[in-house]
Amino acid sequence: MDCAQRRIIDSLLDSYHRVGGINRLDSGNLPSKRAITDVCVKLLQVLFPGYHDEEPIPADELEMITGERIAHLVDVLRTEVAKTLRLRDDETGEHHNGLDQQARDLVCEFLGKLPRLRELLQTDVEAAYEGDPAAKNFDEIILAYPCIEAIAIQRCAHCLYELDVPLIPRIMTEYAHNLTGIDIHPGATIGSHFFIDHGTGVVIGETCVIGNYVKLYHGVTLGARNFPKDENGRIVKGNKRHPNVEDHVVIYPHATVLGGKTTIGARSTIGANVFLRESVPADSFVTNVGEQLSLFNKVTGEAVEPIGEPGDS
């Protein structure tokens, strides 16, 4: 080894000790990003058997293959969930008693929700078929539409998020983000028949609550207006920051809806490129007219006022 390499190694080792930012070498290991990516792939195979496989699945082997996949998911997820629980205990100073069994219980509870998730995802496929005139059949949607992969992974991640599993749900949705260009936080609550047309650039924040039969187009942001800070200047975590979208709402490309107190009323339509920070009542149509927003009732055609003040967070 020449002297240049030795200096590089010594400098890196010094950086590891001074700066940190590396995996825990002498304590609980971080979850494996590669293992969580594999979990996402296996979950897609379980949720849509045959659609994410190299070869068709023979009907007489479906039970055996499903059993093997569930066993694999239990094994891998138990290990990764136990790592995250151990890390959480390290941060809170708690003891590591029974973490393996706790992890296994959480994984089994999560996997027990997969049949219900399949039913929800079927409604998403139906919504894509009904919402896109270019869609030829359900097979095309499951195989080719990025929103189905993004929503499937987010719905799985949301279950783990609700079970208070740390870190892993975020790794899952960031994998989906990288795969599809659709960024949905695992904390977002999403109803049935959800469709994202095209999808690229969609951002949905952690505390969003989305109703049933909602359709978004590419570039839509459902985000936060601001980030309140505590007396020490640190951002306050966990407060309601993102909007609510009620049933049968359509939001067109590149619209931005911000704020934890903002609600888009049922059956409303938000036009392209709208920047909205106030709640709007049910049956509203919001569009840009020059530099001003125009808001009127879709049924009567009468102009209406937004609900709440622009200062709402």
Residue 264, pLDDT above cutoff 80: yes
Residue in 127, 156, 162 with CA at minimum distance from that of residue 141: 127
pLDDT for the residue numbered 312: 47
The values of phi and psi at residue 279, to 5°, are -70, 150
Taking only the tens place, the pLDDT of each residue in 39-78 is 999 999 999 998 888 888 888 899 999 999 999 999 999 9
Task: Report the percent of the chain where pLDDT is more than 90.
Answer: 69
pLDDT for the residue numbered 21: 57
Least confident of 10-14, 141-145, 183-187, 284-288: 10-14
Residues 6+ apart with CB under 8 A from 23: 29, 30
Taking only the tens place, the pLDDT of each residue in 15-40 is 877 776 555 555 557 899 999 999 99
Q: Which domains does the chain have, with CATH numbers?
A: 26-181 (1.10.3130.10), 201-313 (2.160.10.10)
Least confident of 87-101, 226-240, 283-297: 87-101
Sheet arrangement for strand 263-264: 189-190, 209-210, 244-245, 263-264
pTM: 0.89
pLDDT for the residue numbered 57: 86
Q: How far is Cα 225 from Cα 108, in angstroms, rounded to an integer? A: 38
Place 87 in a pLDDT band, splitting at 50, 70 and 90. Answer: confident
- Tell me what the mean pLDDT of segment 229-239 comes to: 80
Residue 133, pLDDT above cutoff 50: yes
pLDDT for the residue numbered 227: 76
Q: How far is Cα 139 from Cα 141, in angstroms, rounded to an integer? A: 5
- Tell me what the mean pLDDT of segment 92-100 comes to: 70
Least confident of 67-81, 189-203, 263-277, 285-299: 285-299
Q: What is the 3-state secondary structure (H, E, C) of the chain?
A: CCHHHHHHHHHHHHHHHHHCCCCCCCCCCCCCHHHHHHHHHHHHHHHCCCCCCCCCCCHHHHHHHHHHHHHHHHHHHHHHHHHHHHHHHHHHCCCCCCHHHHHHHHHHHHHCCHHHHHHHHHHHHHHHHHHCCCCCCHHHHHHHCHHHHHHHHHHHHHHHHHCCCCCHHHHHHHHHHHHHCCEECCCCEECCCCEEECCCCCEECCCCEECCCCEEECCCEEECCCCCECCCCCECCCCCCCCEECCCCEECCCCEEECCCCEECCCCEECCCCEECCEECCCEEEEEECCEEEEEECCCCCECCCECCCCCC
- Tell me what the mean pLDDT of segment 290-300 comes to: 83
Residue 5, pLDDT above cutoff 60: yes
Place 309 in a pLDDT band, splitting at 50, 70 and 90. Answer: low
pLDDT for the residue numbered 56: 81
- Tell me what the mean pLDDT of segment 117-126 comes to: 96
Q: Whole-number mean pLDDT of the chain? A: 90
Q: Is 158 exposed, middle or buried (0-12, 13-18, 19+ CB in 10 A)?
A: buried
Q: How far is Cα 154 from Cα 126, in angstroms, rounded to an integer? A: 18
Place 92 in a pLDDT band, splitting at 50, 70 and 90. Answer: low
pLDDT for the residue numbered 111: 96
